[in-house]
Amino acid sequence: MTLVRRQFLQLGGAAVAVPAISRIARAQTYPARPIRVIVPVAAGGPTDTIARLIAQKLAERWGQQVYVENLPTGAGNVAVGMTAKAPPDGYTILMPSSSYVVNPSLYAKITWDPVRDFAPVTLAVASAHVLVVHPSVPANNVKELVALVKAYPGKYSYASPGAGTTGQLAGELFKLSLGLDLIHVPFNGANPAITSTIGGHTPIAFTALPAAASNIKGGKLRALVVTSGKRSSAFPHVPTMMEAGFPDQESIFMQAVLAPARTPKDIVDLWYREVVRIVALPDVKERLAVLGFDPVANTPEEFGAWIKTEVNRWGKVIREAKIPRIE
């Protein structure tokens, strides 16, 4: 073998080795400075609480500050757009809720794309939506409720946390698939929607389970069904829509982790492994159960496929329910 050829092969081998060495070096040094976790909702709710719980566990593990920044402006769209434009170096991370897969179809002017602009890390935890009724409603299960609404078209209304929220979309999916004449009454948040249902003004409500949990336990509301694929660990006696005889009604309230597109895979994988570890910790699982959430922690590939499916599904519901796009 000539010297020139030997040198060429050695250089070629070095070229292949450089990216691998770079990845190893990065993995050994990351994180080298504080990490900003952007949460596109106001402080204090379940989404914020879970983000801070994960951030705290990561800070303890890595010996580096992991801090939460709440940016609820513009229904969270400003925060998501800001994260999309952040350097893809693992030092700006997004932890959104289900609005991430709804807002692209709901808002007319949006500066980010849920698939193109982000690297999915994991769907960390999820909670079902729950269909609740006032105790005076003469229906003890979903089949009885459907029969009641069909017997009195236009008489019954349901509350949701607001127009375009996942609570409304779960309700509209229910209406559309069963051909129900059920009036939607939007409120400015889950608490007023629940208060209205407790008062009997809107006898039915669709909302994320955590918002209704204490009133279900207190007997002020009756939970007929959850909309997740499996029963909630917090309310194991409440059946799923599938178990109640109504397939294709699944909807969840999620807490996810995403990074800007082109974030190195080794950093994405590190975050994924850490979130899997964190949501399996006994104290974290106990806290999640109190909040009405269950661990998920699916893989980046699984989460990426889920995002595409959910964006398309809720876009279809928004169009068929004729929910106006927000300017």
- Write the pLDDT tens digit of every residue in 10-29: 445 555 554 544 555 455 68
pLDDT at 82: 96
Number of domains in the chain: 2
Q: Identify whether 238 is part of a domain.
A: no
Q: Identify whether 7 is part of a domain.
A: no
Residue 133's beta-bridge partner residues?
Answer: 204, 222
Q: Identify whether 248 is part of a domain.
A: no
Domain ranges, residue 70: 30-126+253-320
Q: List pLDDT tens digits, range 136-177.
A: 999 999 999 999 999 999 999 999 998 888 999 999 999 999
* Average pLDDT of the residues in 96-115: 95
Show the tokens assigned to 313. 């599904």
pTM as predicted:
0.85
Taking the chain, what is the end-to-end CA distance rounded to the nearest angstrom? 69
**Boundary-marking domain end, from 175, 209, 226:** 226
Q: Identify whether 22 is part of a domain.
A: no
CB 128 within 8 A of CB 253: yes
pLDDT at 9: 43
Alpha-carbon distance of 276 to 295, in angstroms, equals 9
Same domain, 135 and 54: no
Same domain, 288 and 301: yes
Residue tagged 């509209």 (tokens): 172
Q: List pLDDT tens digits, range 216-265.
A: 999 999 999 999 888 988 889 999 999 999 988 889 889 999 999 999 99
pLDDT at 318: 94
pLDDT at 163: 86
Same domain, 185 and 212: yes
CB 8 within 8 A of CB 2: no
Same domain, 132 and 221: yes
What is the domain-level CATH number for residue 175? 3.40.190.10
Same domain, 59 and 115: yes
Same domain, 212 and 260: no
DSSP-H helix ranges across the chain: 3-29, 46-62, 77-84, 99-106, 142-151, 166-178, 190-198, 209-217, 265-279, 282-291, 300-320
Same domain, 260 and 304: yes
Same domain, 122 and 258: yes
Largest CA distance in the chain: 91
**Boundary-marking domain end, from 172, 207, 226:** 226
Whether 54 has a pLDDT exceeding 70, the answer reads yes
**Boundary-marking domain end, from 226, 244, 269:** 226
What is the domain-level CATH number for residue 266? 3.40.190.150
